[in-house]
Amino acid sequence: MQGEQGQDEPPSLLWGLDPVFSAHARLYITDILRMRESYQVPGTYFYKNHPVFKVDVLGTVVYKREREDFFCYGVDDGTGVISCLCWKDERWRNPTELGNSRNSMLLTGRGIFHPAKQLKKLKEAQNVSSCLEIGDLLRVRGCVKTSRQQREVKAFCYYKVNDPVMAAQISWMMEVPQLYQKVYDKPFDFTKRAQELNLTDSNDVPSSLSLLQRASKILKGLLSREAVECFRPKDVEHVFIPLVTQNTSEQLEPGAVQSSSKHLFQETIKALQDEGLVFRKVVSQDEVYQVTENDRELHRVTKDLIREDSKLEKYAERGCHVLHILSCVRHTYSRNVSRPVIEVVLRCLECESEIISTAEDCYTTF
């Protein structure tokens, strides 16, 4: 294992090119505790230059706390100890969901099948695998979080590992060092990979289009492919610099290229803002742009307020008008949301069958 090395983060739009970003990284706990958090997207961390937000941990339970909704297990893999929040399954905590055994009986060709009894057995098996004691071997897959300045793992799934002859632990101890040697400790070249995939290639954009139209088309394609929620100007500067240099026959000084690409970026962003495709949630010195189609929080806020306000008598028949939705979103989410942005969100929610249009510019939930 090697310590973290200070280095600049790659642009967030390119993180998905690194296979580690999509995988549950099998890192040593000591490295999970020492990973630096991204300044671009909080909740994502870096081991070397690999972006990580999901991990796979195997270790011994060294302490345990139980709450109504979750277990908190301290997991020790020999390199360190980390807290793992393991949520209880609501279905198993609610005994009424097992149903009435009389109503649950089904006749089959071989006799009577009792789903309630089978569910009870499954509940018992689930309780055994999810309720661990100190000394048990636990495997956890989940996302890395920092809460009260303490690093922890919020589990997507977890279970007790029955390993009487230590076969699982030996296999783990053999696999993880190989992953470090072949993947984690090797830097990932994001720029080279982007060039290999022609992510910044503008050859497929008709040359008859103006420079601004070409830049807009390329940036839209990049934002759509990478599906990130937010970005900064420096994350996409690799799109504009080639366009500027290709658009002139003169040999420009580095400063002139930088200035021209910055101006092109500003014009392109303004065009995308006018279409409602990007917006700034907070206007500050830290220039961050939200991608409307991928802003999950904005989608959730919009859907929730439509669902709640559609219950009111005023909106029960025709649904909520787009201007009412815009006003509520500005009040609860961000004052910088424009009507084009809300219209893009409403189209996305309608395509996903989350809402339905009842009349012109009016929406309600199913």
Give residues with Cβ within 8 angstroms of 245, minimum separation 6. 252, 257
Question: Residue 280 pLDDT > 90, yes or no?
Answer: yes
The per-residue pLDDT for range 240-249, each reduced to its tens digit, is: 877 777 666 5
Instruction: Give the residues across from 87 on adjacent strands.
Output: 70
Looking at residue 334, which CATH number applies to its domain? 1.10.10.10
Amino acid at 187: P
Give the per-residue pLDDT at 208. 42
DSSP state for residue 179 in the 8-state scheme: H
The per-residue pLDDT for range 137-176, each reduced to its tens digit, is: 999 999 999 988 899 999 988 988 999 999 999 999 999 9
Q: 303 falls in which pLDDT band (50, 70, 90)?
A: very high
* Mean pLDDT in residue range 120-128: 69
Contact assessment for residue 233 and residue 287, using Cβ atoms and an 8 Å cutoff: yes
Average pLDDT, the chain: 83
**Between 1 and 24, residue with greater pLDDT:** 24
The per-residue pLDDT for range 29-49, each reduced to its tens digit, is: 999 999 999 887 888 999 999
Query: pTM for the full model?
Result: 0.54
Q: Is residue 22 part of a domain?
A: yes
* Same domain for 299 and 286: no
Looking at residue 221, which CATH number applies to its domain? 1.10.10.980
Question: Residue 120 pLDDT > 80, yes or no?
Answer: no
* Same domain for 355 and 260: no
Q: Is residue 276 part of a domain?
A: yes
Contact assessment for residue 176 and residue 220, using Cβ atoms and an 8 Å cutoff: no
What domain range is 202 assigned to? Answer: 198-290
Q: What is the Cα–Cα distance from 192 to 250, expressed in whole angstroms?
A: 26
Last residue of a domain, one of 290, 318, 345: 290
Q: 103 falls in which pLDDT band (50, 70, 90)?
A: very low
Give the per-residue pLDDT at 234. 85
* Same domain for 307 and 260: no
Give the per-residue pLDDT at 179. 94
Angle, helices 339-351 vs 322-332, to 10°: value is 110
* Same domain for 348 and 226: no
Q: Is residue 109 part of a domain?
A: no
Q: Is residue 74 part of a domain?
A: yes
* Same domain for 203 and 179: no
Structure tokens at 128: 């055994």
* Mean pLDDT in residue range 123-135: 74
The per-residue pLDDT for range 245-271, each reduced to its tens digit, is: 766 655 556 677 778 888 888 999 999
Contact assessment for residue 243 and residue 34, using Cβ atoms and an 8 Å cutoff: no
Q: Is residue 119 part of a domain?
A: no
* Same domain for 268 and 206: yes
* Same domain for 217 and 148: no
* Same domain for 318 and 236: no
Environment class of 49 (CB within 10 Å of its CB; exposed 0-12, middle 13-18, buried 19+): middle
Q: Is residue 101 part of a domain?
A: no
Last residue of a domain, one of 290, 323, 357: 290
Buried b (16+ CB within 10 A) or exposed e, 182-209: ebbeeebebeeebeeeebbebeebeeee
The count of structural domains within the chain is 3
The per-residue pLDDT for range 191-248, each reduced to its tens digit, is: 777 666 655 544 555 544 578 888 888 888 888 877 888 888 888 888 887 777 766 6
Looking at residue 171, which CATH number applies to its domain? 2.40.50.140
Give the per-residue pLDDT at 235. 86
* Same domain for 213 and 175: no
* Same domain for 270 and 338: no
Last residue of a domain, one of 245, 266, 290: 290
Q: Is residue 284 part of a domain?
A: yes
* Same domain for 202 and 176: no
Give the per-residue pLDDT at 104. 41
Local structure of 28: helix, strand or coil: coil
* Same domain for 166 and 82: yes
Question: Residue 23 pLDDT > 50, yes or no?
Answer: yes
Q: Is residue 102 part of a domain?
A: no
